Chain A
Amino acid sequence: MMNVMLSIFSVVPIQYYIFISAVLFCIGVLGVLFRRNAIIIFMSVELMLNSVNLLLVAFSAYHNDASGQVFVFFVMAVAAAEVAVGLSILVTIYRNVHSVDIDELKSLKH
């Protein structure tokens, strides 16, 4: 597996991976900032985390060091826990407000 990845790296330079991750990350950030639907915001956060995973795996193969790939497992586990909690908060909100639009959430003073 490692050999296959290394051979891919001899073809695709590391800069490309950095660029694609940065682009994915920016799409995620813009989604969080500009979309008003909570579920789409969750998906954008996941996109941010997955761009990080891609970057970590790319660097891991570049440095020939496995710790980056192990870190990816931590990120995936934490993202799963995080989204489980986030969706359950969303369900309680939907039960009370009957909407998943975050602009509806203004009961607290701004």
Chain B
Amino acid sequence: MNTLIYTSALGLLCMLAEMANLRKLILPIAVAGLCVIFGLNVTDWGKNGAYYHNMVVTDNFSVAFSGLLLLLGIFITLLAGNFYKNEESKISDYLAIIIFTLCGALALVSFGNLAMFFLGIEVLSISLYILAGSKKKDVRSNEAGMKYFLMGSFASGILLFGVALIYGETGSFDLGAISNYASATHPSVLFYAGAGMILISMLFKVSAAPFHFWAPDVYEGSPTLTTAMMATIAKIAAFAAFYRLFSHAFISVFPPYAWVFTAVTALTITIGNFTALNQDSFKRMLAFSGISHAGYLMLGIISLYGKTDNAIFFYSFAYGISSMAAFAIAIVVAMNLGSEKIEAFNGLGKRKPFLAAALTIAMLSMAGIPPLAGFFGKYYIFSEAIRNGHLWITVVAVINSIVSVYYYMKVVLAMYTKDSVETAFTLKPAYSFVIGFCILLLFLAGIFPGLLTGLL
């Protein structure tokens, strides 16, 4: 609850700091502010509460996900300083929008009412539309912004119609009231139609098949830092909201829709992995890998009855941190070589052993190789799925997980076995710090998974 208020205040402060001639100080203020908010968020642990007529709910689920999102937000803010160095006069706008995106994400993990859920989704999306189209002179960025905007507002329209139908049936926007209504009576077709429309729009937002087609274009065209936000903060927040919504309000509509969930999961994992196999752009490959990771996270949602929030949190942590490391390295390489193709990584092993080793670890974690966090993430989510009786879909996921090793290793091979032209290569300390910290976290969560598994 306080986390959301303080983050919004920090966003406003960043926006206004420009007027007070504090441009040089904005970045340190934003990072320090987010670190303080992270600390305050941790002190909310174990305190359950509902505020403003159950609009915002604080529980361990929301605190854990808020912590993860704030951590990713701190990383993004650290990277933003150097990423926008050519547009120094606009840095306060960029930072403010980044922090407002974070506000939307925080609202999405702690809502108790569909109004708050809608506002969270919209604050997150509208900020991201702006960031996706923020390279005004670059047609690719314009195009990414436009595609994201059209897809996002279309999905919002579907979401709202679903919300309106649910309201018409139950007479309330409150998650608890909706759940009580659905378990006490036999909901009519309006309720199922509404839940189905909300489901479709959530599949759009998390880029699950068959609603994933926008993701590769948008990820490729957007500025890389924005892509990193979409792949980490937006996706994790959307999954947390997805879980919260279906476990708190729509648990009773689950049986009729179970086959939809299963089919979507199988389709998402398979399409994501097999399309990633022959991509030559690193960002596009990560976009398809992000789609397949959305599929693995869907495995946690289909086994919802078994209370899989901890497995989803662990997987989100592993995926978010390793993506963040991979995108940070992609930004460094693109800044120095001006290319986002996989060829740009050729010979990185000789020129920058630290970056190459870090990217190798991030890729291994995404592929799910022990002893990294990604392995335990997959292990928990697969074992939860088996425990809840989804055997064949887990087999599909495991086979796909083996396939994915091929394209992750393609980058690693390019770095270590191919030669490249010698160019000057600069690496800013903020980038080394973020990359190093991510790698440290991946090892920590991989070697001591107990730190995170008993959390929720």
Complex CA–CA separation, A81 to B122 (angstroms): 9
Instruction: Give the interface segment out of B164-172, B257-265, B342-350, B360-368.
Output: B164-172
Across the interface, which residues of A come within 8 angstroms of B115, CB to CB? 67, 70-71, 74
Across the interface, which residues of B come within 8 angstroms of A58, CB to CB? 168
Number of CB contacts from chain A to chain B under 8 A:
130
Residues 83-102 of A, flagged 1 when their CB comes within 8 A of B and 0 if not, give 00110011011011100001
Instruction: Give the interface segment out of B22-30, B151-159, B428-436.
Output: B151-159
Which residues of B207-221 are within 8 A (CB) of A?
216-217, 220-221
Which residues of A43-67 are within 8 A (CB) of B?
45, 48-49, 51-52, 55-56, 58-60, 62-63, 65, 67
Residue with the highest number of chain B CB atoms closer than 10 Å, among A21, A58, A107: A107
Complex CA–CA separation, A97 to B133 (angstroms): 14
Complex CA–CA separation, A107 to B165 (angstroms): 39
Across the interface, which residues of B come within 8 angstroms of A41, CB to CB? 150
Across the interface, which residues of A come within 8 angstroms of B147, CB to CB? 105, 108
The smallest beta-carbon distance between A2 and chain B, in angstroms, is 16
Contact A78 B122 (CB under 8 A): yes
Contact A105 B167 (CB under 8 A): no
Known: A51-B161, A68-B167. A86 touches B143 (CB 8 A): no
B333 sits at the interface (CB 8 A) = no
Name the one of A38, A59, A92 contacting B164, with C-beta atoms under 8 angstroms. A59
The smallest beta-carbon distance between B314 and chain A, in angstroms, is 33
Across the interface, which residues of B come within 8 angstroms of A38, CB to CB? 146, 150
Name the one of A49, A92, A102 contacting B133, with C-beta atoms under 8 angstroms. A92
Dominant secondary structure at the B interface: helix
Across the interface, which residues of B come within 8 angstroms of A48, CB to CB? 154, 157-158, 160-161
Known: A48-B161, A74-B115, A78-B119. A109 touches B284 (CB 8 A): yes
Name the one of A18, A49, A86, A90 contacting B168, with C-beta atoms under 8 angstroms. A18
Contact A89 B142 (CB under 8 A): yes
Interface size on A, residues (CB 8 A): 46
Contact B284 A89 (CB under 8 A): no
Which residues of B268-309 are within 8 A (CB) of A?
281, 284
Across the interface, which residues of A come within 8 angstroms of B142, CB to CB? 89, 92-93, 96-97, 105
Known: A45-B153, A63-B171, A86-B129. A93 touches B118 (CB 8 A): no
Across the interface, which residues of B come within 8 angstroms of A70, CB to CB? 115
Name the one of A21, A67, A108 contacting B172, with C-beta atoms under 8 angstroms. A67
Nearest opposing residue in chain A for B143, CB measure = A105
B35 sits at the interface (CB 8 A) = no
B149 sits at the interface (CB 8 A) = yes
Contact B119 A74 (CB under 8 A): yes
Contact B161 A110 (CB under 8 A): no
Beyond A52-B161, A85-B149, A93-B146, 10 additional pairs, beta carbon < 8 A: A14-B168, A48-B157, A48-B160, A78-B122, A89-B142, A89-B146, A90-B146, A93-B142, A108-B217, A109-B284
